């Protein structure tokens, strides 16, 4: 009987151990599923919070960038205006004497041609041609002389 009792006890212990092992495996699987679901839920909540935070920050960021650009443009504008104005004045100082010389030379040539040729119409054409030539030189076109 002792062998039979020992065999029954061993079978009971083995049966209990197998039962505990199966319960542990089932509980572990359920716990993993719950942790995965909780992780997914947490990730969704974090992503939603980040998106909501970004949506509230984007207008503020856009306004700050615009404000910074406006301030930069406003501070640079007087300097740019001064530099452009100085460039135009410098350019005009170089062009105006040339225009005067060209006009004077054209008028003198036209008068000389009118007097020597005796034809007033020819003088007008010559004056018009010289004026066109001067404009072409000023505007950078080809000289038609």
Q: How confident is the model at residue 140 (pLDDT cuts 50, 70, 90)?
A: low
And the tokens for 85?
């104005």
Reported as a single tens digit per residue, the pLDDT across 94-130 is 767 777 777 778 777 776 666 665 555 665 666 667 7
**pTM for this entry:** 0.34
Per domain, the residue ranges of the chain are: 2-139
Instruction: Return d(Cα 36, Cα 52) in angstroms, integer.
Output: 24
């Amino acid at each position: 009987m002792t062998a039979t009792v020992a065999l029954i006890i061993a079978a009971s212990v083995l049966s209990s151990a197998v039962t505990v092992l199966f319960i542990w495996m089932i509980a572990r699987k359920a716990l993993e599923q719950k942790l995965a679901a909780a992780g997914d839920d947490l990730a969704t909540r974090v992503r939603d919070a980040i998106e909501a935070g970004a949506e509230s920050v984007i207008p503020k960021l856009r306004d700050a960038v615009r404000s910074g650009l406006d301030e930069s443009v406003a501070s640079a504008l007087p300097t740019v205006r001064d530099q452009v104005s100085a460039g135009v004045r410098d350019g005009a100082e170089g062009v105006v004497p040339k225009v005067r010389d060209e006009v004077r030379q054209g008028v003198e040539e036209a008068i000389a041609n009118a007097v020597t040729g005796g034809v007033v119409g020819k003088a007008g054409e010559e004056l018009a041609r010289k004026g066109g030539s001067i404009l072409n030189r000023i505007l950078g076109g080809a000289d038609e002389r």
